[in-house]
Amino acid sequence: MSRNDTQRAIERGETMLGIEFGSTRIKAILIDKDHTPIASGSHDWENRYENGVWTYSLDDVWTGLQASYQQLVADVRTQYDVPLTTIGAMGFSGMMHGYMAFDRNDNLLVPFRTWRNTITGPAAEELTELFQFNIPQRWSIAHLRQAILNQEAHVKEIDFLTTLAGYVHWQLTGQKVIGIGEASGMFPIDSDANAYDAGMIDLFNRQLAAAGISWQLQDILPEVLPAGAIAGALTPKGAQLLDPTGQLQAGIPFCPAEGDAGTGMVATNSVAQRTGNVSAGTSVFAMIVLEKALSQLYPEIDMVTTPGGKPVAMVHSNNCTSDLNDWVALFSEFARELGVEIGQSRLFEMLYRQALKGDADAGGLLAYNYLSGEHITHMEKGRPLFVRTPESRFTLANFMRVHLFSALGALKLGMDILFDREQVEIDQILGHGGFFKTEGVGQKIMAAALNVPVSVMETAGEGGAWGIALLAAYMHQKTAGETLDAYLADKVFAGEKGVTVAPDPRDVAGFGAFMERYQDGLVIERSAIDALKE
């Protein structure tokens, strides 16, 4: 679209707005009807550790949201010289999980408990056994059950339980609803019914009755809506909350609020069966859209859904590139001692490319990148290690290769459950994150680890705010009967440029040999944790 066309689209409300609350930044993106970002705004924020709980205050939520939106409004004015008074559709996304409990007068009963809190271990373990379904500590239901176990006084006063995205959506629309992908991080979902699992609801209600609690779980959870549903409209009160200047008009339709995992799937076109995406940076996680439910419970795998309600297996590893980054920093320090100035990006690229020159199995070297604990391998703490034998081929190329391998070691163990035990099949994985910044290297290593083609698209860096804007566009522009995966494939990503790397059989075999060492050597990591005290 030309600048004049974009101006007219803004004035006519032919745009879609997506805003996502990330852990360190609130980002707003305005897109046109062709799904192209035309303006943006952002606001940095940080969680606080108060009284043993990681939290954000409600004041931080609203000041951050307003600042992000006003920056977007200013960007629209600067680029197109028009005010932003109306929008075709909009939606909100946020960090999944967590605990926001309100009483019948809409008062927050206890400070917002975010996904980052690891204070629900007993509840998560109990519920996993009760449901025979993996309940991670960060899930909303685990927080609720832990509050019951702790006999917290506020529990009997709960009238509504939601997430951050669900809270903002409720305040702007008056609707206590939530997208199904976000809901799947609150409580297990029945993907056949696109609703909370009724059998598990009943099991939890029996616990409530035993604890003398009068309300039932289904009465306090937000209503579940799939992608494409109209989830309310901006109220006059909501318009004033979002834009205190009074320029923004009420009545704008909302799509269901979604979680950051769901918007990540949308932003990478990974919502159809046999597709998946992997985000690799400080941590690494893979989301695989399943054709059928898993045959049994696996504590290594979280079960969530796409925004359309399809079951998704999520494998999450706490550690990815942080240890590798520390080694690169050491090389940078050495270079400075030699009087050589080299930019960080150039150094990363040079060292990453060395990895492609190494032996297929990284020369018999072994590394563990555990700066923090790793639940997949049952390590509660981190002790980064580099290990070799006298016969190992200790070269720079093999050293870099083994650390890239190590970044994916724990992820590989979780993915093997899906591929080997459950016979899950996928056509390709879409990669995004810092692991893939050096063209071709991270893709080649990931393809070797997972033995599937790995693609990186030009739009992969647009992020979750773009993803929720796309969901608003889908609600606003879809045709009758058009599914979310069809809409994305045909109208958003058709002709999308990207690079796909297929697995090299030599690399696959080499990574397999590394993984044998990796699993055999876990006893070394355990010994380091036990012997090296903090």
* Cβ atoms 441, 353 nearer than 8 A: yes
Reported as a single tens digit per residue, the pLDDT across 262-292 is 998 999 899 999 999 998 887 888 999 998 8
Q: Is the pLDDT confidence value at 91 over 90?
A: yes
What are the tokens at 201? 């609801």
Helix (H) or strand (E) holding 196: strand 195-196
- Smallest CA-to-CA distance from 525 within 425, 333, 383 is with 383
Percent above pLDDT 90 for the chain: 82
Reported as a single tens digit per residue, the pLDDT across 21-52 is 988 899 999 999 999 999 999 999 989 989 98
Half-sphere exposure of 441 (CA within 13 A, CB side): 24
Q: What is the mean pLDDT of residues 189-209?
A: 96
The pLDDT assigned to 464 comes to 86
Q: What is the mean pLDDT of residues 77-105?
A: 96
DSSP string, 181-239: HHHTTTS-EETTTTEE-HHHHHHHHHHHHHTT--S-HHHHSPEEE-TT----B--HHHH
| Cβ count near 339 (within 10 Å) | 6
The pLDDT assigned to 460 comes to 63
Least confident of 203-207, 281-285, 335-339, 358-362: 281-285
For tokens 């009074």, what's the residue?
Answer: 246
Sequence-distant (≥ 6) Cβ neighbours of residue 132 within 8 angstroms: 297
* Cβ atoms 453, 2 nearer than 8 A: no
* Cβ atoms 381, 373 nearer than 8 A: yes
Reported as a single tens digit per residue, the pLDDT across 305-355 is 999 999 999 998 888 998 999 999 999 999 999 999 999 999 999 999 999
Q: pTM for this one? A: 0.85
For tokens 């009238």, what's the residue?
Answer: 159
Q: Is the pLDDT confidence value at 469 over 80?
A: yes
**Cα Rg, the chain, nearest whole Å:** 24
Tally of residues, the chain: 534
Which is more confidently placed, 373 or 231? 231
The pLDDT assigned to 332 comes to 96
The pLDDT assigned to 457 comes to 83
Q: How far apart are CA 144 and CA 161, in angstroms?
A: 9
The whole-chain average pLDDT of the chain stands at: 94
User: Which of the four pLDDT bands, split at 50, 70 and 90, describes residue 372?
Assistant: confident
* Cβ atoms 173, 232 nearer than 8 A: yes
Longest dimension (CA), the chain: 72
What are the tokens at 388? 């070799």
What SS3 class is residue 135? coil
Q: How far apart are CA 465 and CA 16, in angstroms?
A: 11
User: Would you give the distance in Å from CA 155 to the centre of its chain?
Assistant: 29
Sequence-distant (≥ 6) Cβ neighbours of residue 291 within 8 angstroms: 273, 274, 424, 425
Question: Which amino acid makes up residue 194?
Answer: N
Q: What is the mean pLDDT of residues 102-107?
A: 98
Q: What is the mean pLDDT of residues 482-502?
A: 92
The pLDDT assigned to 501 comes to 94
Q: Is the pLDDT confidence value at 461 over 70?
A: no
Q: Is the pLDDT confidence value at 459 over 80?
A: no
User: Which of the four pLDDT bands, split at 50, 70 and 90, describes residue 105?
Assistant: very high
Q: How far apart are CA 97 and CA 187, in angstroms?
A: 9
- Smallest CA-to-CA distance from 7 within 65, 78, 112, 56 is with 78
Sequence-distant (≥ 6) Cβ neighbours of residue 60 within 8 angstroms: 45
Strand intervals (E) in 88-136: 89-94, 100-102
Q: How far apart are CA 388 and CA 385, in angstroms?
A: 10
The pLDDT assigned to 458 comes to 76
User: Which of the four pLDDT bands, split at 50, 70 and 90, describes residue 116?
Assistant: confident
- Smallest CA-to-CA distance from 467 within 269, 285, 325, 202 is with 269
The pLDDT assigned to 281 comes to 81
What are the tokens at 41? 């705004």
Q: Is the pLDDT confidence value at 74 over 90?
A: yes
Q: What is the 8-class DSSP label of residue 156?
A: G
User: Which of the four pLDDT bands, split at 50, 70 and 90, describes residue 259?
Assistant: very high
| Cβ count near 512 (within 10 Å) | 15
Q: Is the pLDDT confidence value at 427 over 90?
A: no
Question: Which amino acid makes up residue 60?
Answer: D
Query: Integer distance in angstroms from the first to the last C-alpha of the chain?
Result: 58
User: Which of the four pLDDT bands, split at 50, 70 and 90, describes residue 428?
Assistant: confident
